[in-house]
RNA sequence: GGGAGCUUAGCUCAGCUGGUUCAGAGCAUCUGCCUUACAAGCAGAGGGUCACUGGUUCGAACCCAGUAGCUCCCA
């Protein structure tokens, strides 16, 4: 029976993924084995798979599959987060298409639409992960707005509020006027933008009445600003007290242009004298720094913007205009009224909403905050103490810097899609925080009657009266306020209401998880906060290792993005190169923690590798076995066994250090070079010749090991081959995915490994000789060995004969005249070729060159050895090594010198 | 402006605690092969002032200082 010449991934992928699901190999329940757990960084429920996910999830799947094969109880928990801003934006867009405005809907009606949308479009990404081969325990799939996870969020809110770690306050927040919500600092993307710097004249008011006229050079001051539309919100003009130019302004006032409101001139060293004119307009309601300045100098706060970014009546003019339209118009007005001195081009950093791309408006508003101070300390210690390892560890510095300068977390969002804040207000705007309406009523009762003096009736009456006015906070909490609970909440949500509760069996078994694989961009607002929540609710870090992947860039180094259109469609790639090919491709170019310059050619390399393995298998499969033949390949079999052990040791070390791309490369070379190019060629019978039983069995066993080694990287191909009938009948649950991972054993025969190394070099030399002399590979050449080492080349005769097409391997004490010669180590080899092909001149040149090289080498070695300080200071083994090098070089030079003489 | 990191072959990267004349891998390139497992392949070959300048050392790609360029994070 013949199998196709190339591996075709498509059928294998669907077939085996379904089979794994059917046999429930991904399923994990607690038992007495050691757990190995990963929780997926929940992708946005509205998202589709992009290259970053591909990388991230390939890594997780490699780790989880390897652990599973190593006999651990491997559990990979999948799920999605509800991405409040992104999802709400999509729902709003959908409604608009249907002609419905959000503001016309009740909260309940809107939520119905939102859930409908989520059911319809949400979770596509999880289906896409299956195409990649992700072996998640799908029965455990979680969503951050699941009933229990939402309850966990509310419990957490109440818990932290009771501890005094959640508070409500007026703060300057990053306002997204398009999404009409506050966003966190982390959700603001700063970009450099070409702007204009407007130089505006503010008329001076001479406060000193008659008598002491000061000869004023200017009757106005000039202020440079990029935001002229905010002048109506100005509360002061600020100068630096050290600025000699403006001494005359101290204690005076100016008029705000156009509206002629009087504002004071204040002094503060905050002002940069060199920037603009050195005069700053202070607008506390619309700039963070100005706000702080305003607080310091007790300035009034005039907020002239509506939540959608249009000007409100407090602006006095241009009411209802959008802020950007207003900017243009105000510039014109200023110009018209001769308040504009000049306009310059100016580049500056402007924040944009990550979700809606609207320019962020610093805005004062009432928000809920979570205190970070108390939680940051322990969360930092886990990392500094090494209880949590960041990989690569360069991120420890960044982590520390952030944790030591942490700011309180604004957790409220002016949205509906998410967990509604469990704060309840009465008609006077007083509030209590409570899990339910009932508890809120109790809360108000307790506030009103702290000493419980009310009769039962009075209490009931109080609540009945309050009830119609009781209103829950309109806002929801930030999505990260759900995801920071993720490593706990996916298993058990009972601990959030009661941290003393040890949790259910799942939580006790799987928590803390082992590895977290995520992007460095969210180290702070996700990883760090998970550590905080883990510590708060479990008293233990949520994971042991955090593997931080790089950003997937295109080969020009640009971040892959939809707008650039430089990101390949991952599902398309899988179709083109196979899931295994793409997985290999991703890993080949992904050093830990560094960005990767992705190029499709890596996937091609992955596909080619899959095909190589496939064809090696075809070779084995095609062999006929002759039971009467004796075992002919003891040496190759012994060698590959040792080589495999040696490579496995290296691969394991790479895995231990999370150097996955190097683990893959080591595997790749073991399979392609050692197994295919050397081992299989050594044992391969001549065309249409049978192979002996023992060789066949050993090779089959090697193959089985190789397939297992490949499985974490290439699950589909390995599973497909695993079930080939070459391996006989397999039991239903006998699958590669649960086969035992090769167990580390040290190579037992170092001599054999190094001697084969020499043999391989010898064979390459002969092949090279043929190539350079254009000798046919079909013509067998006689080989003579003049050994200078302990190696017995007769042991390797069969291998040399086969791979170098040598007619004989003669051992001699003498040099062979009229033959091509070369050295491997201290062993000298002679290949008889037609004398006409030996060019004495070029031969002499080659050898002379080599001697020159060796003499240089020897000189440097001698220099070291004759240097007393070297011999005195260097480690003994280093000195010993130098002596060996010296002897080796001298022996080689002697041989080569003889050869040069013989050529003449 | 503050902090972190990077710079090694055409490309992507290794190079652990200085010690082979140490400069390495994969891909790409070049040469020769359709040798019945594989042209998605086989056999060979070429390719680098380890960013630059100094210093420490018996010895530096590796340690130190400075310079230049790039990237990221925070303001």
Question: Which whole number is the average pLDDT over A877-886?
Answer: 82
Which residues in window 773-812 of A are less than 7 A from strand B by Cβ?
Answer: 777
For residue range A135-149, what is the model confidence (pLDDT) as tens digits?
999 999 999 999 999
| The pLDDT of residue A850 is above 50 | yes
For residue range A791-848, what is the model confidence (pLDDT) as tens digits?
899 999 999 999 999 998 999 988 888 888 888 888 999 998 887 777 777 788 888 8
Give the pLDDT of residue A217. Answer: 43
Give the pLDDT of residue A211. Answer: 45
Within chain A, what is the greatest distance between any pair of CA atoms?
128
Question: How many other CB atoms are there within 10 angstroms of residue A240's CB atom?
Answer: 19
Long-range contacts of A749-758 (CB under 8 A, 24+ apart): A749/A638, A749/A642, A752/A635, A752/A638, A752/A639, A752/A642, A753/A639, A753/A642, A753/A643, A753/A646, A755/A791, A755/A795, A755/A796, A756/A639, A756/A643, A756/A796, A758/A791, A758/A824, A758/A825, A758/A827
Which residues in window 845-904 of A are less than 7 A from strand B by Cβ?
Answer: 853, 856-857, 859-861, 864, 867, 869-870, 873-875, 878, 881, 885
As for the ipTM of the complex, it is 0.94
A890 CA, B58 C1': Å apart: 23
Q: What does DSSP say about strands A431-433 and A423-425: parallel, antiparallel, or unpaired? A: antiparallel
- Please tell me which of A176-190, A342-356, A555-569, A723-737 the model is most confident about, judged by mean pLDDT: A723-737
| The pLDDT of residue A347 is above 80 | no
Strand partners, A431: A425
| The pLDDT of residue A413 is above 60 | yes
Return the H-helix or E-strand segment holding A784: strand A781-786
Return the H-helix or E-strand segment holding A89: helix A84-97
Contact yes or no for A485/A153 (Cβ under 8 A) = yes
A7 CA, B35 C1': Å apart: 23
Contact yes or no for A379/A346 (Cβ under 8 A) = no
Which residues in window 187-206 of A are less than 7 A from strand B by Cβ?
Answer: 190
A811: helix, strand or coil: strand
For residue range A245-295, what is the model confidence (pLDDT) as tens digits?
888 888 888 889 888 888 999 888 777 777 778 888 999 888 877 887 888
| The pLDDT of residue A776 is above 90 | no
Strand order in the sheet with A827-831: A806-811, A781-786, A827-831, A820-824
Asked whether residue A864 is marked as a ligand-binding residue, the answer is no
Q: Which residue, among A34, A898, A84, has the nearest Cα to A483 in the 3D structure?
A: A84
| The pLDDT of residue A475 is above 80 | yes
End-to-end CA distance of chain A: 60
pLDDT band at A1 (very low <50, low <70, confident <90, very high): very low
For residue range A18-42, what is the model confidence (pLDDT) as tens digits?
999 999 999 999 999 999 999 999 9
- pLDDT higher at A746 or A108: A108
Give the pLDDT of residue A208. Answer: 54
Give the pLDDT of residue A296. Answer: 81
For residue range A594-606, what is the model confidence (pLDDT) as tens digits?
778 888 899 999 9
Give chain A's mean pLDDT.
Answer: 89
Which residues in window 372-411 of A are less than 7 A from strand B by Cβ?
Answer: 394, 397-398, 401-402, 405, 407
| The pLDDT of residue A877 is above 70 | yes
Positions of chain B reached by protein Cβ under 7 A: 3-5, 11-14, 19-22, 25-28, 31-32, 35-45, 57-59, 71-75
User: For residue A485, what are its two tokens?
Assistant: 């609970």
A186 CA, B65 C1': Å apart: 37
For residue range A149-180, what is the model confidence (pLDDT) as tens digits?
999 999 999 999 999 999 998 877 888 888 88
pTM listed for this prediction: 0.89
**Lookup: nucleotide whose C1' is closest to A578 CA:** B40
| The pLDDT of residue A190 is above 90 | no
| The pLDDT of residue A778 is above 50 | yes
B18 closest protein residue (CA to C1'):
A874
Question: Which whole number is the average pLDDT over A646-656?
Answer: 91
């Amino acid at each position: 029976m013949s199998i196709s010449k190339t591996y075709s991934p498509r059928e294998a992928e669907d077939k085996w993924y379904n089979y794994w699901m059917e046999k429930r190999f991904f399923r994990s329940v607690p038992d007495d084995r050691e757990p190995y757990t990963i929780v997926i960084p929940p992708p946005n429920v509205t998202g589709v798979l992009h290259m970053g996910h591909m990388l991230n999830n390939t890594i997780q799947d490699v780790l989880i599959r390897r652990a599973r094969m190593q006999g651990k109880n491997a559990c990979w928990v999948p799920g999605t987060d509800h991405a409040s801003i992104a999802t709400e934006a999509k729902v709003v867009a959908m409604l608009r298409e249907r002609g419905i405005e959000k503001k016309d809907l009740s909260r309940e009606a809107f939520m119905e639409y939102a859930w409908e949308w989520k059911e319809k479009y949400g979770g596509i990404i999880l289906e896409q992960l299956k195409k990649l081969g992700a072996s998640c325990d799908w029965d455990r799939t979680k969503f951050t707005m699941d009933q229990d996870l939402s309850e966990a969020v509310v419990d957490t809110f109440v818990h932290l509020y009771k501890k005094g770690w959640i508070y409500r306050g007026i703060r300057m927040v990053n306002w997204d006027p398009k999404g009409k919500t506050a966003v966190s600092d982390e959700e603001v993307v700063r970009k450099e933008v070409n702007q204009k710097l407007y130089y505006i004249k503010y008329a001076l008011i001479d406060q000193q009445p008659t008598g002491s006229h000061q000869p004023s050079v200017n009757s106005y001051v000039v202020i440079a600003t990029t935001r002229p539309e905010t002048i109506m919100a100005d509360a002061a003009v600020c100068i630096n007290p050290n600025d000699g130019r403006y001494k005359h302004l101290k204690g005076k006032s100016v008029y705000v242009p156009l509206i002629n409101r009087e504002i004071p001139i204040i002094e503060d060293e905050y002002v940069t004298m060199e920037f603009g004119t050195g005069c700053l307009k202070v607008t506390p309601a619309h700039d963070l720094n100005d706000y702080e300045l305003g607080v310091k100098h007790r300035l009034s706060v005039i907020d002239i913007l509506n939540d959608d970014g249009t000007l409100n009546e407090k602006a006095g003019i241009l009411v209802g205009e959008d802020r950007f339209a207003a900017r243009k118009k105000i510039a014109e007005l200023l110009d018209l009224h001769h308040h504009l001195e000049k306009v310059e081009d100016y580049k500056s950093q402007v924040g944009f909403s990550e979700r809606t791309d609207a320019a962020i408006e610093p805005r004062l508003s009432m928000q809920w905050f979570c205190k970070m101070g108390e939680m940051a300390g322990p969360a930092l210690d886990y990392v500094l103490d090494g209880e949590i390892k960041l990989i690569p560890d360069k991120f420890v510095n960044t982590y520390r810097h952030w944790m030591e300068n942490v700011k309180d977390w604004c957790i409220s969002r002016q949205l509906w899609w998410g967990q509604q804040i469990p704060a309840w207000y009465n008609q006077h705007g007083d509030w209590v925080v409570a899990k339910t309406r009932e508890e809120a009523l109790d809360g108000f009762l307790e506030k009103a009657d702290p000493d419980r003096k009310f009769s039962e009736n009075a209490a009931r009456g109080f609540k009945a009266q309050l009830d119609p006015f009781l209103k829950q906070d309109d806002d929801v909490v930030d999505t990260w306020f759900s995801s920071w609970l993720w490593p706990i909440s996916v298993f058990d949500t009972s601990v959030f209401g009661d941290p003393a509760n040890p949790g259910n069996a799942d939580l006790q078994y799987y928590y803390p998880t082992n590895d977290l694989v995520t992007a460095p961009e969210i180290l702070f607002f996700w990883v760090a906060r998970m550590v905080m929540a883990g510590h708060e609710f479990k008293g233990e870090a949520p994971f042991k290792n955090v593997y931080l992947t790089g950003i997937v860039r295109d080969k020009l180094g640009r971040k892959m993005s939809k707008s650039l259109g430089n990101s390949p469609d991952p599902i398309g790639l899988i179709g083109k190169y196979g899931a295994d090919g793409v997985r290999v491709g991703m890993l080949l170019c992904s050093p830990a923690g560094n960005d990767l310059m992705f190029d499709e050619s890596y996937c091609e390399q992955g596909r080619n590798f899959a095909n190589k393995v496939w064809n090696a298998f075809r070779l084995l499969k095609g062999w006929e076995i002759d039971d009467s033949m004796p075992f002919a390949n003891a040496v190759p079999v012994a060698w590959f066994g040792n080589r495999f052990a040696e490579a496995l040791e290296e691969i394991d070390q790479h895995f231990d250090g999370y150097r996955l791309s190097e683990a893959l490369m080591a595997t790749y070379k073991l399979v392609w070079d050692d197994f295919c190019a050397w081992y299989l060629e050594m044992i391969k019978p001549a065309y249409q010749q049978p192979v002996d039983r023992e060789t066949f069995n050993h090779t089959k066993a090697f193959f089985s090991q190789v397939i297992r080694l490949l499985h974490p990287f290439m699950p589909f191909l390995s599973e497909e081959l695993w079930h080939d009938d070459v391996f006989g009948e397999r039991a239903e649950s006998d699958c590669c995915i649960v086969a035992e991972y090769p167990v580390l054993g040290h190579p037992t025969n170092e001599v054999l490994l190094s001697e084969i190394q020499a043999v391989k070099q010898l064979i390459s030399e002969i092949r090279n000789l043929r190539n350079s002399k254009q000798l046919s590979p079909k013509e067998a050449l006689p080989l003579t060995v003049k050994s200078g080492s302990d190696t017995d080349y007769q042991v390797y005769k069969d291998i040399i004969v086969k791979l170098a097409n040598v007619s004989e391997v003669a051992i001699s004490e003498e040099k062979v005249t009229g033959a091509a010669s070369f050295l491997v180590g201290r062993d000298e080899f002679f290949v008889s070729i037609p004398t006409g092909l030996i060019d004495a001149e070029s031969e002499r040149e080659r050898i002379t060159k080599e001697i020159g090289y060796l003499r240089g080498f020897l000189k440097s070695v001698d220099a070291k050895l004759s240097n007393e300080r070297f011999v005195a200071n260097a480690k003994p083994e280093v000195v010993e090594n130098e002596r060996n090098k010296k002897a080796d070089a001298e022996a080689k030079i002697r041989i080569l010198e003889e050869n040069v003489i013989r050529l003449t």
